[in-house]
């Protein structure tokens, strides 16, 4: 059992209010989060909801007990992007999705994310999707046309658009939706579409085909968590149309207004103040950063420093500061037994709509007060300072004094000869190896950074 006396408050997108979280059943707390479409490595933006909802999952487990919380996050493994990747590479679809699914799990594991209790793959739930679509047709909420099945938005007009705060008429006016001859209303969206022989397809009452994007989450959440559950999460880019369409499908299938009670959406991620894009050259996968020498623990701390409902800016400066903080905290907690639980102030901050920035401030206070046991327990609760995450900090112990001395001597000589090429060569080599070079009148200090690679010092 957990510590039930903590009151959790969450900003509910559905009601536009911060509300006290009251689960339907305190001994069966259920959360569904929309996961990745697996056709490539996860980029840094994909990692944000993973870390945000991992923190919420940890809080729920702390408050209600680990065995009382069920967390489901799906893998979309049937999608036109995947089909295109298979066609371009000549590799089988199943091989691509198996590989990219494992990549995702490996990369998110490096960021300290716990694995959800359920990780359903869309292709495993096609019969359930077909049954739900059939039911929607029978209830008058969907119609078959030319091998497609479409959801009839008019059948749910009063409620459609409430999550994103739009009316159907406004949406149609500003719609850039595919106008197809078989659609009764331009906002109607696809539940099932026909597949040609070269595309993945399954038999259905409407012919061989595959599901639309939105129906999969409705069918899988119903199957794993029931027709009504506590929390539904995802990035705010999914609010419309994905989540809006999920609500429409699920509520119409359930025959009432029940589905998820609390909707949480995280804001998007930027890199060095700009939207991440390949054209700007600031597009990173999580693996790119890990390969560049940024430890997963450092990436995690940078993420936690920004509240989930604010846009998050990934910068190299923040990563360097986070690394210095973690080194300091690790030095302080080495060989220490953690306290029996996270500090009350840490739990209180997190319970206030996942105020992770406030939590980090509390960790700094614990460190400043010298409360190593409290710091360790609180950091562990957040997925920081754990043994599994710490290999980078121990790092290879390299004696840098000889390198410091050689740079100091080269500098002294350059002062006399006014020839600085050797100094510049050494400095460039040290920076390339991941060392920060600090020079003063007193001497030279080389400080290992996030990507320190001692192998690059060989032969200098």
* Percent of the chain surpassing pLDDT 90: 81
Under the banding of pLDDT at 50, 70 and 90, the label for residue 175 is low
CA distance linking residue 60 with residue 70, whole number of Å: 10
Under the banding of pLDDT at 50, 70 and 90, the label for residue 211 is very high
Q: Kindly report, residue by residue over 348-370, the tens digit of the pLDDT.
A: 999 999 999 999 999 999 999 99
35 has a pLDDT exceeding 80: yes
Q: What local confidence, expressed as pLDDT, does residue 451 receive?
A: 67
Q: What local confidence, expressed as pLDDT, does residue 4 receive?
A: 63
Please tell me the CATH code under which domain 9-266 is placed: 3.40.50.620
Choice between 144 and 277, residue whose per-residue pLDDT is larger: 144
Q: Kindly report, residue by residue over 77-125, the tens digit of the pLDDT.
A: 999 999 999 999 999 999 999 999 999 999 999 999 999 999 999 999 9
Average pLDDT over residues 295-312: 98
Q: Cα dihedral sign for 450, 453, 454, 456?
A: negative
Instruction: Return the closest-CA partner of residue 260 out of 227, 234, 217, 216.
Output: 227
67: left (phi over 0), alpha (psi -120 to 50) or beta: alpha
1 has a pLDDT exceeding 90: no
Q: Where, residue-wise, is CATH 1.20.120 in the chain?
A: 317-394
CA distance linking residue 308 with residue 66, whole number of Å: 23
Q: Where, residue-wise, is CATH 3.40.50.620 in the chain?
A: 9-266
CATH 1.20.120 at 317-394, yes or no:
yes
Q: What local confidence, expressed as pLDDT, does residue 136 receive?
A: 98
Q: What local confidence, expressed as pLDDT, does residue 458 receive?
A: 80
Q: What is the pTM of this model?
A: 0.87
In sequence order, the β-bridge partners of residue 266 are 235
Contact 239, 260 (CB under 8 A): no
Q: What local confidence, expressed as pLDDT, does residue 397 receive?
A: 58
Q: What local confidence, expressed as pLDDT, does residue 178 receive?
A: 63
């Amino acid at each position: 059992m957990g510590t039930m006396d903590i009151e959790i408050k969450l900003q509910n997108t559905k009601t536009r209010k911060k509300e006290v979280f009251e689960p339907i059943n305190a001994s069966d707390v259920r959360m569904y989060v929309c996961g990745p479409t697996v056709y490539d490595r996860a980029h840094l933006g994909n990692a944000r909801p993973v870390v945000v909802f991992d923190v919420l999952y940890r809080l729920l487990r702390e408050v209600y007990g680990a065995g009382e919380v069920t967390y489901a996050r799906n893998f979309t493994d049937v999608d036109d992007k995947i089909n295109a990747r298979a066609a371009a590479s000549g590799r089988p679809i199943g091989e691509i999705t198996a590989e990219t699914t494992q990549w995702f799990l490996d990369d998110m594991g490096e960021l300290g994310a716990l694995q959800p209790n359920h990780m359903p793959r869309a292709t495993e739930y096609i019969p359930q999707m077909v049954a739900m679509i059939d039911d929607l047709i029978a209830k008058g909420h969907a119609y078959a046309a030319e091998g497609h099945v479409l959801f009839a938005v008019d059948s749910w007009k009063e409620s459609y658009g409430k999550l994103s705060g739009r009316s159907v008429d406004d949406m149609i006016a500003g719609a850039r939706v595919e106008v197809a001859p078989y659609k009764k209303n331009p906002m109607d969206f696809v539940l099932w579409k026909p597949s040609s022989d070269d595309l993945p397809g399954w038999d259905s009452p409407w012919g061989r085909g595959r599901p639309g994007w939105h129906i999969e989450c409705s069918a899988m959440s119903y199957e794993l968590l029931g027709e009504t559950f506590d929390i539904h999460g995802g990035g705010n880019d999914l609010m419309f149309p994905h989540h809006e369409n999920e609500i429409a499908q699920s509520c119409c299938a359930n025959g009432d207004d029940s589905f998820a009670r609390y909707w949480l959406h995280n804001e998007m991620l930027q890199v060095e103040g700009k939207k991440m894009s390949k054209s700007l050259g600031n597009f990173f996968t999580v693996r790119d950063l890990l390969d560049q020498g940024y430890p997963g623990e450092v990436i995690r701390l940078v993420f936690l420093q920004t509240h989930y409902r604010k846009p998050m800016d990934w910068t190299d400066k923040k990563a360097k500061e986070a690394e210095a903080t973690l080194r300091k905290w690790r030095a302080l907690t080495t060989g220490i037994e953690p306290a029996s639980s996270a500090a009350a102030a840490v739990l209180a901050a997190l319970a206030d709509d996942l105020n992770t920035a406030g939590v980090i401030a509390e960790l700094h206070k614990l460190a400043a007060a010298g409360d190593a046991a409290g710091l360790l327990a609180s950091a562990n609760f957040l997925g920081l300072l754990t043994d599994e995450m710490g290999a980078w900090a121990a790092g290879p112990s390299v004696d840098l004094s000889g390198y410091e001395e050689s740079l100091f001597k080269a500098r002294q000589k350059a002062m006399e000869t006014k020839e600085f090429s050797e100094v510049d060569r050494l400095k460039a080599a040290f920076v390339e190896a991941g060392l920060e070079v600090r020079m003063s009148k007193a001497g030279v200090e080389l400080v290992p950074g996030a990507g320190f690679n001692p192998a690059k010092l060989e032969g200098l």
